[in-house]
Structures are given as structure tokens and as C-alpha cells.
Amino acid sequence: LVTPIARKKWELRHSDIELSKRLGYGQFGEVHKGKLKRYNRVLGVAVKFARVSATSKEHIKEMMREARLMRNFNHPNVVKIYGIALDNDPIMIVMELVRGGSLDEYLRKHAGRITEVEKMTSMVSGAAWGLTYLHDKRVIHRDVAARNCLYDKNKVVKISDFGLSREGDVYKMLVTRRVPIKWISPEVLINFTYTRASDVFSFGVMCWEIATDGADPFQDKKTAEIREILLSGGRLEWTPNSPPDLVDLVTKHCWGQRTEERLTMIELTRKLENLTGVKQPV
């Protein structure tokens, strides 16, 4: 059982945070490298905050929701949050600094040079452990993709970007939003209903991204065409050098048309552990 970060530790002040270079751009804001000063100690951190022009009530609510959810997580394959600074504008979310970058960038940058072992253990298994942990906490991530994972210098993958995540067993999207169709399961396309099984489908697409060194799923196919492929049971095509065990696992156990045809993350984790011989470190 993980207890949330205590309130006093959780509420940070702007004066505790020193920002330095920008690490990346998010949907509404920026992520900077920074230092967190607490109890005479200085910790290297990543700080996420909204660009002033993008700040709306809805967006602040979303950032707060993301931070509150992340507060309950404590796992090596899930990005940790240290706290949130609300005493001034902009609101800042202070997170674990992952020295590396997003997984999709890493894949493309090192294309052709990443071993099958690294893909199967560090990337696929690590992400499976992280997602298993989140599912165990009754969280549906809703946006599993290589661009939403970070990959650190020690080759540890960390699931990140909980902007769309929800607690519960089912989440029905009521407001129609633009969805990343290339990662989405058939049932979400039809009835906008997200479950842990729809995360499993997206996890399969992420495995495909790993296998193809960060290729763009369905390349430049149009949305309507992708929709038709997915709804009629068609799936992404694998490149010849994709790890055969991974192709088999994803095709058989992540990409079933119906949710009941897919394995759960814990079942996938067990299968991966049998394939690689690498167990989740405790």
C-alpha cells in the first residue's frame, strides 16, 4: 500500500523552485529542468507549468487532476511527482527529473542500433510493469504511446503524461475531443468507452513503435482510412526485423477486436517474464 505524499511535503512554494533550461514542450505548457530546495537540501527536478497564454480554468483543473492522481504513485516505471506550487502564477508541478527524453525520440535517434534485448527488457517489460502498477491502482491511462514515456540514461522507461488518466473501471468520454486515432482500440472508436483493455490495445501499438524504432503508425494514412482498417479487424504491419516473440504477443493478446480477447497487463507481464527470463525487480 502506498500512502500519498503528506500535505506539508506536497505543497511547495515558488521560492523553493529554481528553473533552468527547457526540457520540452507539452500540450499546454513547458517542462523545464530545475532545482527544488527543501529542508536545506537541493534536488534536481523537472518542472511543468502552463504557458500564460494557454492558462484557462479548464486547463488548470486538468493539471491539478493530473498532479493529484500522480501523488499516489510510487513505482520505478512511473514518473514520480514531488509536489505542486500554487502560491503564485503559473502553477508548477514538480516531478522526478528523467535524464534522457521521451521514448519515441530515443527510438528514432538510435534507430538500427538498439538491441532486441534492450527492447524486450528495458522498454517493453519496463512499460508493462509500470502499466500493471497503474492498472492495479484502478487507473486507466488513456494515452499510452511512446511519446508519453520517458527513457532515462540508465535505460529505465517511465510512464508519464497522466493528463487524460482516470480512476475507475470504465471511462466514457462525453465531450468529443480529438483522439490519437493511431493508438486507439476499436471499441473506443465506436463508443468512446475506455477501459484497462483499451490501454492494453494502445500498449500493443507502443510495442509496435518499439519494434519499428519509432516509426509512425499507419504513416500518412487518412483518419477515415485508419478507422476503416481498425473496425474491420485490420492492424499495423510489422517490419521483418521485429522481435518474433513480441509480434506474436501483441497480435494474439493485445490487439483482439473485442476487449475479452485481450490479456490483462499482469498476464502480459507474466508472459514477458517467461519470454525474457527477466523478472520485475522488487
Q: Find out whether 48 is annotated in a ligand binding site.
A: yes
98 near ligand ADP (CB under 6 A): yes
206 near ligand ADP (CB under 6 A): no
Q: What is the dihedral of CA 241, 246, 252, 257, to 10 degrees?
A: -80
Which of 16, 143, 161, 213 is flagged as catalytic?
143
| Residue matched to cell numbers 473506443 | 188
- What one-character DSSP code corresponds to residue 101? E
Q: Reply yes or no on whether 143 is catalytic.
A: yes
List, in order, residues 6 or more apart from 180 with CB less than 8 Å away: 143, 145
Work out how close the CB of 109 gets to ligand ADP at its nearest, in angstroms, rounded to a whole number.
12
160 near ligand ADP (CB under 6 A): yes
81 near ligand ADP (CB under 6 A): no
Residue 94: which of 38, 178, 139 has the closest Cα? 38
47 near ligand ADP (CB under 6 A): no
Task: Name which position in 5, 31, 67, 70 contacts ligand ADP (CB under 6 A).
Answer: 31
| Interface region with ligand ADP, contact rule CB under 6 A, candidates 155-163, 210-218, 231-239, 250-258 | 155-163
Report yes or no: 98 and 77 within 8 Å, Cβ to Cβ.
no
Burial class (CB in 10 A: 0-12, 13-18, 19+), 219: exposed
Residue 280: which of 75, 2, 44, 59 has the closest Cα? 75
SS3 label, residue 220: coil
The rounded distance, in Å, linking the Cα atoms of 126 and 272 is 10
| Residue matched to cell numbers 512554494 | 13
Task: Name which position in 15, 27, 88, 223 contacts ligand ADP (CB under 6 A).
Answer: 27
Pick the closer one to ligand ADP by CB: 161 or 213.
Answer: 161
103 near ligand ADP (CB under 6 A): no
| Interface region with ligand ADP, contact rule CB under 6 A, candidates 89-97, 199-207, 241-249, 273-281 | 89-97
Report yes or no: 90 and 82 within 8 Å, Cβ to Cβ.
no
Work out how close the CB of 248 gets to ligand ADP at its nearest, in angstroms, rounded to a whole number.
30
124 near ligand ADP (CB under 6 A): no
Task: Name which position in 5, 97, 114, 200 contacts ligand ADP (CB under 6 A).
Answer: 97
Detail the residues annotated as belonging to a binding site: 48
- Contact residues toward ligand ADP (CB under 6 A) are 23-29, 31, 46, 79, 95-98, 101-102, 150, 160-161, 163
Q: Which residues are catalytic?
A: 143
